[in-house]
Amino acid sequence: LKDKLGNRSNASAEVEFDATWARRLGDEGRGISTIIEMVSATRLDCILGSAALMRRAVAEATHHCTYRRAFGMVLSDAPLMRNVLADIAVESEAATMLAMRVAAAVDRSADAGGPQANTDASAETGTEGELLRLAVALGKYWVCKRGPTLVGEALECLGGNGYVEESGLPRLYREAPLNSIWEGSGNVNTLDVLRALRQSPAVLDAYLAEIGLASGADGRFDAAVKDLLQSLADLDGMEARARRLAERMALVLQGSLLLRHGNPAVADAFCASRLDQDWGHAFGTLPRGVDSAAIVARATPEIPD
């Protein structure tokens, strides 16, 4: 068995097939198309897994800081620590929102008879299967890529205690990078985004219809959509910038979902930081005016008496 960084309960080993009997799945010559159907489902698993790891890390960090006192105050009441906690909480909630939207697209597409079927539930957002083709790659890239950074920040919130195995954070930290690796690394998924955009105009139409449902809800969101449309207008030579494009598309989709379905304080903080780009390169750099206290309170687990 392989001696892995994490994911130890899921044993890995090399397998050799020697004169093995096999049954073909799908039509001859359609192997890639057949396996892609499976990959879409397992990519959703990766998105959900990363979102869950992020939520667990945020719960551990907010809980610890609610009960830990240092420098004469409760840690979660310290302005800078509150900013950090609010920032990772916003990231976690945006990840969960995107994961749930991809899951809904999977369900609706399956209920309608396949990835190319239209449904009443998706009448305003285009074909769910077409949205899924793009959204699952966007989510797999962005949510899974953000997981390790967030877990590392949450671990730091616990200080030295977070570096101790009993805290549970080291286990999350070792597990976090994996979802960004299997079922296609970051490069593979962002190139899949480009491939989908080039092969099927309906895919982009479905994406634009989905984000358009939040049009007018926030000026910062509308400005981000405008900038994104300029990038999408010319995909020539985009391969080297595929990650940048996928990041912006994922952020705009998350913003649309939060504005329509999320908590107002979280949606405002997301638009101010991720879309308006009044944000640093590390967590804990949310701008002024964000209701950090409300965001942290929302993210902190309630412990019954």
- State pLDDT tens for residues 127-158: 899 999 999 999 999 999 999 999 999 999 99
Domain count, the chain: 1
Mean pLDDT of 99-111: 91
pLDDT at 123 over 50: no
In the predicted model, is pLDDT for residue 162 greater than 70?
A: yes
Q: Which of 134, 136, 301, 157 is nearest to 232 (CA)?
A: 134
**Is residue 281, in this structure, part of any structural domain at all?**
yes
Say what angle helices 219-232 and 201-212 make with each other, to 10 degrees: 170
Domain-embedded: residue 8: no
pLDDT (0 to 100) of residue 120 = 42
CA atoms of 190 and 182, how far apart (whole Å): 14
The pLDDT value recorded for residue 115 is 46
In a domain, 5, yes or no: no
Query: What confidence tens digit (pLDDT) does each residue in 23-62 have?
Result: 998 899 988 778 877 888 899 999 999 999 999 999 999 9
Structural domain contains residue 26: no
- Say which CATH number the domain at 94 has: 1.20.140.10
* Residue 287 C-beta-side C-alpha neighbours within 13 Å: 13
Q: How far apart, in Å, are the Cα atoms of 153 and each of 32, 50, 60, 88, 265?
A: 38, 15, 11, 8, 21
Residue span of the structural domain in which 129 resides: 33-299
Residues belonging to the chain: 305
The overall average pLDDT reported for the chain is 92
Q: According to the model, what pLDDT value does residue 114 have?
A: 52
**268 part of a folded domain:** yes
Please write the tens of the pLDDT for every residue from 173-204.
999 999 999 999 999 999 999 999 998 899 99
**Residue 116 pLDDT > 50:** no
Checking if the pLDDT of 124 tops 80, the result is no
pTM of the model: 0.91
Does residue 22 lie in a domain region?
A: no
Task: Report if residue 9 sits inside a domain.
Answer: no
Query: Does some domain include residue 2?
Result: no
At residue 289, does pLDDT exceed 80? Answer: yes
- Whether 113 shows a pLDDT value over 90: the answer reads no
Interval 32-42: pLDDT, tens: 778 877 888 89
Structure tokens at 55: 């939520």
Rounded to whole angstroms, what are the CA distances from 103 to 44, 89, 119, 128? Answer: 7, 21, 15, 11
Q: Tell me: the pLDDT tens digits for 218-249? A: 999 999 999 999 999 989 889 999 999 999 99
